[in-house]
Chain A
Amino acid sequence: MLKGGVIMDVVDPEQAKIAEDAGAVAVMALERVPSDIRRDGGVARMSDPEMIEGIKAVTTIPVMAKARIGHFVEAQILEALGVDYVDESEVLTPADEAHHIDKWAFTVPFVCGATNLGEALRRISEGACMIRSKGEAGTGNVVEAVRHLRSITGDIRKITQADGAELFEWAKRLQAPLPLIQEIHQTGKLPVPLFCAGGLAIPADAALAMQLGAEAVFVGSGIFKSDNPSARAKAIVEATTHFQDPSMLAKVSRGLGPAMPGLEIGSLDQTFADRGW
């Protein structure tokens, strides 16, 4: 039950302990945080099972791990390792340029990224149990996360106002299954939890995502690429809980030291968010 919580990227057992001590609801075990993947280039793959097991051994909270888009064998291996969730992630180099993993074939629940509602609903129809707006991982720049979250929640609001005939057009426009569009029309929300990821670096970023309608946040490079990861991690956990309380946000934002430096989206050679179809 991850809602209202912070899921933190960690690359070793020591970071996993810091994350759990800070109040993370889960950790994402990966070999390099997105900003390092971005810097190093090359092909990014599933993490070494030994490293994932090392992190599982020291934490009592759920452990997630990433598989490449379409790489169902990496997902099979992660399931065999007993991870709690698999993230089919655009941060790793895609293994298939047309197909995502058939997630119905697994017991382990999947989280998948999306930049818009159509992409979210296609992932849900493939069996994703959770959606995270993608943002642009490893940049420390929240602008893409905001764009994707607003796109998803904005279209949900429009669909709730559409009439029956317009729902068919929405299904065509979003390239998404009609029954899911009809369900959103009825309920006014995604059929699965909506989380936010990609570029969150300071407590205010987490609270912004929550006020925009995210139900939990992923923080990757933002914590362990900052000067004081432990204090920053705790502050982001508190900001995610007290996201509607500006005086509390002011209190937890104080004295955290420099955040990760951050990148302008226009300066990137490679955007991760475009991966996935």
Chain B
Amino acid sequence: MKVGVLALQGAVEPHAEALRDLGATPAPVRTPAQLAGVDALVVPGGESTTMSKLLDTSGLAGPLSDRLSSGMPAFGTCAGMIVLAREVLDGRADQRSYGAIDIAVRRNAFGRQVDSFEADLDVAGLEDSFHGVFIRAPFVEAVGPHVEVLAAVDGHPVLCRSGPVLVAAFHPELTPDRRVHRLFLEAGA
């Protein structure tokens, strides 16, 4: 499967490495033509306001919206979770999110850079805990009826799935454990 990694800004290469480890073929996506050539898309961590602007200026906003509404599998981590959410709280007024998953996300919900943390997560469907790295992380404030919450921190959902769309508030690409990426590839296959 050819899996695009949105390469406008953020942690692109670690995702590509995780995907290669699992036998998928990663491809950077910066243009509408590149988006048209992939079967699924990872939206990496980065700064969601920056990504939102670059999606507009690169002409990807419309095509991305279309692909997501026609059911393209997608995996958003950290800022990527914000980009894929239905609603962004504490975002900027002009910040766009794409409604691929029915959740409301609060930006920088766990605080500033110095409040970044790591935590062992109990993930539904995984036998052993998963070590999550949270950097200026968002969390989910509200989930729609068709969204499964797979993991939470202090009662706040941090890993959610809805059909072929998976979102994580943490950075599974920064640890060598590939199980969360596998969940995405399995959901999308």
CA distance A178 to B47 in the complex (A): 35
Chain B interface mostly: loop
A60 x B46 contact (CB < 8 A): no
A residues 102-145 in Cβ contact with B at 8 Å: 107-109
CA distance A82 to B108 in the complex (A): 14
B46 x A241 contact (CB < 8 A): no
CA distance A82 to B30 in the complex (A): 34
A4 x B78 contact (CB < 8 A): no
B65 at the interface (CB under 8 A from A): no
B58 x A23 contact (CB < 8 A): no
A152 at the interface (CB under 8 A from B): no
Question: Separation in Å of the A109 CB from the closest CB of chain B?
Answer: 6
A241 x B30 contact (CB < 8 A): yes
B53 at the interface (CB under 8 A from A): yes
B8 at the interface (CB under 8 A from A): yes
A84 x B30 contact (CB < 8 A): no
A37 at the interface (CB under 8 A from B): no
B168 at the interface (CB under 8 A from A): no
Interface size on A, residues (CB 8 A): 28
Question: Separation in Å of the B148 CB from the closest CB of chain A?
Answer: 26
A79 at the interface (CB under 8 A from B): yes
Which one of A25, A61, A84 contacts B114 once the chains associate, using CB atoms below 8 Å? A84
Please encode chain B, from 155 to 174, with 1 for each CB lying within 8 Å of some chain A CB and 0 for all others. Answer: 00000000000000001000
CA distance A5 to B53 in the complex (A): 12
- A79 / chain B contacts, CB cutoff of 8 Å: 114
Question: What residues make up the interface of B, taking CB atoms closer than 8 Å to A?
Answer: 7-12, 30-31, 44-47, 49-50, 53-54, 57-58, 78-79, 90-92, 107-108, 112-114, 135-136, 171
Contacts A1-B11, A60-B49, A238-B58 known; 15 new A-B pairs at CB < 8 A: A1-B46, A1-B171, A2-B46, A2-B47, A22-B53, A25-B9, A25-B46, A25-B50, A60-B108, A62-B112, A84-B113, A108-B113, A238-B54, A241-B30, A241-B54
